[in-house]
Structure 1
Amino acid sequence: MKVANVFQQKKVTTFILLSLLLVMAFASSIIFGQTPISAEEAVRSFTSFDQNLTSHIVVRYDRLPRAVIGTVVGAGLAVSGTLMQAMTRNPMASPSIFGINNGAIFFIVVGMVFFSVSSLVSLMWLAFAGAALAALIVYILGSLGRDGLTPVKIVLAGAAISALFQSYTQGILVFDEAGLQDVLFWLAGSVSGRTLDMLIPVLPFIVTAMITALLMGRAINLLVTGDDIAKGMGQNILLIKAAMGAIVVVLAGSSVAIVGAVGFIGLVIPHIARFFAGTDYRWILPYSAILGAFLLVGADVAARLVIRPQEVPIGVMTAIIGGPFFIYIARRGLKSL
């Protein structure tokens, strides 16, 4: 019992330390950029805002929104990746690898190019529809055959569907070069230029999905032990998987609707979270949320400083981090679930 208490205290302490790191990254996102702003000036922009000061305007209307959006989207992508890896028992599962991001982007491009959709709310629903369709197709293809759903088949199905939607998107943009400029930031992934008005329409969906995911920790613990054991413990397997799938679609679709295609966070973070939290999803999920938010906000800060005064698209920064990690997982064939 004492050993268990020590482990619990260690998890709590580590979680608090990681939360402090997130706070530091959030503060750095407000202070650092093309125009460095002191911490004192940043605080004054909130306590005594002066609309005649450029530094105050930059903090309130540029850096604060992108820090908040980076935090929310990073947490959402990480939690969606964690749920996908648990549901499929595949260490390489993530929204970007399984085509969910590309499905959402394809629907956004179709809406913008062919139907002149510009409303964020409409784009959000299109992103949801694309993410849901991609997830459904991948699940069906991965379940075909006598063996049913297997990690290898679902990875192959995800890669195929991801490439399919990506090729469709590129094909549309080849015939509509003007449309390319409108959707370029969705293709590259960026938090630059985003406002809190873009987050507000999808925030209720993200918060609801996140809370539901955190409350499902115990059920997921039983699910990953095997369907037969989970059924024996009285769990409704179909309901749990359907709920997990819906959460993944909401979180991934919302993220694409706000910042575009930001990959690898859903792949990398669940493994780091399990390193700190062990195998208990009641801890893995909140750890994933904190770590995902920290990674995306930190990547955004780095993107501003690498080739200053220009910015690197944040999707490129996350790919630099996640690409080698994906290769490592694929080569080692990790079975951390």
Structure 2
Amino acid sequence: MRAGAAGRQARPGLVRTNSGRALGLLVALAVLALALAVSLAVGAKPVPLPDVWRALTAYDGSEHAFIVRELRLPRALLGLVAGAALGVSGALIQALTRNPLADPGILGVNAGAGFAVTIGVGFLGLSSIGAYLWLSFVGAVVVTALVYVIGSAGQGGGTPIRLTLVGVALGAVLAGVSSAITLLNPDAFTKLVGWSAGSLAGRDWSILLTVLPFIGAGLLLAFLAARPLNAVALGDDLARSLGANLVRTRLLVIVAVTLLAGAATAAAGPIGFVGLMVPHVARWFIGPDQRWIIPYTVVCAPLLLIAADVIGRVVLSPQELQAGIVTAFVGAPVLILLVRRKKVSGL
């Protein structure tokens, strides 16, 4: 994309002052705090908000305290960090490829994680989330690294178009192989259904603490990449003239996306639409500046995922609907409305 084309497509958001953007971010934080409180209170056994507060501040071993501290709190916090990871990874991929419809799966992250888990369940006999968590993460890392190596080979290096094509192609191959392995022994993959649909249910403190360092490192890299990504959005030639190191920026973004989406997918499964939709909403509201898009996504993406998890608990109570299914139901029509708006579609 030429610099002129990029400049014509980039449009300011609804809020054009930094003070207005900061105020909007504070409002989003308040709504996120409310969503976390609701997540701790709502479920198969409702817990009054005063009991939620006592469970958090003065644990007394009661049934309500146990439900809040040991079952719902790690689930809510995983929704917080996994939502931020999925949303920011989507924002980074859209900025790097200059494709507003890109998401973390475009670099093969979801396909790599799913393929590794399929191998572990089908051939190694793994049956629990904790058992295949690390395998899922390693699969995401290996496949994303392979995409970068293949996409960077030859003349021209790893351009956004080449990385996108390689990621889509490799992801399609791995998804097909995973489906074939699943069909060979469907009984072995019964317990994998919840993970493959994307869910926060059944996740405990050990899973949260395992992925937290990787997501923290990925978020740090994302904030470091925000400023150079603004230059990349202007086109390669203009970005170089502004002093941006394209190779270093692309590598930084790919490492960040691998850490974020790989860890989130390993813990919660391949949840879609979070990384695709939330950056669209952020751009519509505050414009194309990545220095604001990433903080907004860090707050709004967890809000979407936690809300989807809460809706999944109550819509079929006492049964639960996976959060990944809810985000698809909510995300698809919203995304259709968003992409029809030129102010949102342009990067």
TM-score (norm 1): 0.88
Alignment partner for residue 185 of structure 1, among 179, 194, 197? 194
1:223-238 residue pairs with structure 2 within 5 A? Answer: 223-238=232-247
Give 1:98 shift: 5.0
Give 1:170 shift: 1.8
1:248-259 residue pairs with structure 2 within 5 A? Answer: 248-259=257-268
Q: Hey, what does 1:62 align to over in structure 2? A: 71
Give the direction of change, closer, same or farther, for the CA distance of 1:325–1:303 in structure 2 (3 Å limit): same
Give the direction of change, closer, same or farther, for the CA distance of 1:137–1:97 in structure 2 (3 Å limit): closer
- Is the contact between residue 225 and residue 252 of structure 2 (CA under 8 Å) also seen in structure 1? no
Q: Distance in 2 between matches of 1:310 and 1:267?
A: 28
Q: Distance in 1 between matches of 2:177 and 2:277?
A: 27
Q: Hey, what does 2:5 align to over in structure 1? A: none
Give 1:48 shift: 2.8
Q: Distance in 2 between matches of 1:119 and 1:332?
A: 40
- Is the contact between residue 105 and residue 186 of structure 1 (CA under 8 Å) also seen in structure 2? no
- The aligned amino acid for 1:194 is R
Q: Distance in 2 between matches of 1:231 and 1:190?
A: 42
Q: Hey, what does 2:178 align to over in structure 1? A: 169
- After superposition, give the CA deviation of every residue in 1:229-284 in whole Å (9 maximum; x if it has no partner): 11112221101101101110111110111111111101001111112221211111
The SS at the match of 1:201 is: helix
Q: Which stretch of structure 1 is more off in the superposition, 290-299 or 53-62? A: 53-62
Report % sequence identity. Answer: 35
Give 1:135 shift: 6.7
Q: Which stretch of structure 1 is more off in the superposition, 259-268 or 164-173? A: 164-173
Kindly report the root-mean-square deviation, in angstroms, between the aligned alpha carbons of the 2 structures. Answer: 2.8
Runs (5+) with no aligned partner, structure 1: none
Q: Distance in 1 between matches of 2:155 and 2:186?
A: 41
TM-score (norm 2): 0.86
The SS at the match of 2:104 is: coil
- Is the contact between residue 107 and residue 147 of structure 2 (CA under 8 Å) also seen in structure 1? no
- Is the contact between residue 104 and residue 126 of structure 1 (CA under 8 Å) also seen in structure 2? yes
Give the direction of change, closer, same or farther, for the CA distance of 1:128–1:298 in structure 2 (3 Å limit): same
Q: Hey, what does 1:317 align to over in structure 2? A: 326
Q: Distance in 2 between matches of 1:109 and 1:198?
A: 19
Q: Hey, what does 1:15 align to over in structure 2? A: 25
Q: Hey, what does 1:303 align to over in structure 2? A: 312
- Is the contact between residue 280 and residue 345 of structure 2 (CA under 8 Å) also seen in structure 1? no
Q: Hey, what does 2:215 align to over in structure 1? A: 206
The SS at the match of 2:319 is: coil
Q: Hey, what does 1:28 align to over in structure 2? A: 38
Q: Hey, what does 1:265 align to over in structure 2? A: 274
Give 1:127 shift: 2.4
Q: Distance in 2 between matches of 1:231 and 1:330?
A: 30
- Is the contact between residue 143 and residue 154 of structure 1 (CA under 8 Å) also seen in structure 2? no
Q: Distance in 1 between matches of 2:72 and 2:102?
A: 32
Runs (5+) with no aligned partner, structure 2: 1-14
Give the direction of change, closer, same or farther, for the CA distance of 1:48–1:328 in structure 2 (3 Å limit): closer
- After superposition, give the CA deviation of every residue in 1:310-336 in whole Å (9 maximum; x if it has no partner): 111111001112223455567778642
Give 1:228 shift: 1.1
- Is the contact between residue 269 and residue 291 of structure 1 (CA under 8 Å) also seen in structure 2? yes
Give 1:309 shift: 1.4
Q: Distance in 2 between matches of 1:31 and 1:15?
A: 25
1:19-98 residue pairs with structure 2 within 5 A? Answer: 19-51=29-61, 53-96=62-105
Q: Distance in 1 between matches of 2:153 and 2:34?
A: 44
Give the direction of change, closer, same or farther, for the CA distance of 1:150–1:328 in structure 2 (3 Å limit): farther
Q: Which stretch of structure 1 is more off in the superposition, 173-182 or 263-272? A: 173-182
Residue 127 of structure 1 pairs with residue 145 of structure 2: no
Q: Which stretch of structure 1 is more off in the superposition, 98-107 or 36-45? A: 98-107
- Is the contact between residue 120 and residue 135 of structure 2 (CA under 8 Å) also seen in structure 1? no
- After superposition, give the CA deviation of every residue in 1:288-310 in whole Å (9 maximum; x if it has no partner): 11110110011111111111111
Give 1:21 shift: 0.5
